[in-house]
Amino acid sequence: MKKITIDDIAKKAGVSKGTISAVINAKNSVKPSTRDHILNIMKELNFRPKGVARNLKNGKQDKSIGVIIKDLTYPFYTEIAAGVKEYANSKGYSVLITSSDDDHECEKKLSHLFSAKDIKGTIIAPIVEGTAEIEHLFKLKMINYPFVLLEDVKGIQANVVAIDNIKAIKKAVKYLIESGHTKIVHFAGPPQSSHTQERIEGFRYAFSESTLVFNKEMIVSIGSHYDEAYNKTLKYFKTRNRKEYPTAIVCFNDNQALAVMTALIEMNIKVPDEISIIGNDDISYAKIYPVPLTTIRAPQREIGQKAAEVLIRNIESSTLLPTERIVEETEFIVRKSTRVLNQK
């Protein structure tokens, strides 16, 4: 099958190659009606802009994909990246792994760089801070650039590989309720994250299926970064009497759980004797925390492998494929950071 080029798009659209280039690079010099006309033709022909690709000495074109994760130091993302690399390498693709360092502008620059430099497609762990911050993802969609998200982003219809956060948190809370806990709180993550909202929803659902009553004070937003979570945990407990303390905390992720556990230990609040803690992710060092962490195991490597599979399938397809949303199952892992209250 003949490879579609800029010349083909320009000919069908009845414009110059320079106009096509201006649309690809999101310049404001093209009238909106002309831009929309060109973008429709690009989608119709499944055209993807070509960057500055170089050929290897053996004459074969180098194939590569990109991965933009939020934090290179957090094992959850490094395991996902390892899964991406494993699958991509098996298909003859090199992998460029980088971090946005939880910075929106950095994510935008990296996504533009990858799409402009002939990286065939990109897997992104998106940073979501409101609808005004996802314009770069719309631009990728506009130029028909293949990408897979590791989290749903409101307003963007894209390929997504994630876990069932609602089901996972519901399982964790149900375990606590069945263990005799009635004073349970959820320390939530970044407010705009779909993962945060799904985990809050799972927490609520668990209560709706029990005799306990949910109230909004059970949701406490403390963020996902260690320092922020640590300081907000200290504040939460220092502004309450001991009789108001929960007996169990379900955390947004394992990183937050470590911050919470550290703060509690410093305040001489015993884990799990006084407060049980549940994390989320089952990162590699969760089992060697000061108190080994009960947590929700996400299949991190499998998520990476599946994301790479979806991405490469889209890269290699000669036609525009329908978007996919793949949900991986989790496993509840009980360790020493939780205790049963209703033992006979």
pLDDT band at 38 (very low <50, low <70, confident <90, very high): confident
Closest Cα partner for 330 from 254, 224, 272? 254
Overall average pLDDT of the 192-221 stretch: 93
Judged by phi (left if over 0) then psi (alpha if -120 to 50, else beta), residue 96 lies in: beta
The mean-pLDDT minimum among 14-23, 91-100, 267-276 falls in 14-23
Top pLDDT among 96 and 73 is at: 96
The mean-pLDDT minimum among 103-117, 178-192, 239-253, 262-276 falls in 103-117
Dump pLDDT digits (tens) for 227-272.
999 999 999 999 999 999 999 999 999 999 999 999 999 999 999 9
**pLDDT value at 205 more than 50:** yes
Residue pair 121/315 in contact by the 8 Å Cβ criterion? yes
Give the per-residue pLDDT at 58: 43
Give the per-residue pLDDT at 2: 61
Domains of the chain: 6-44 (no CATH), 64-162+300-327 (3.40.50.2300), 165-298 (3.40.50.2300)
Top pLDDT among 113 and 296 is at: 296
DSSP assignment of 122-160: EEE----S-GGG-HHHHHHHHTT--EEESS--TT---EE
The beta strand positions in 29-167, using DSSP E, are: 64-69, 94-99, 122-124, 147-149, 159-163
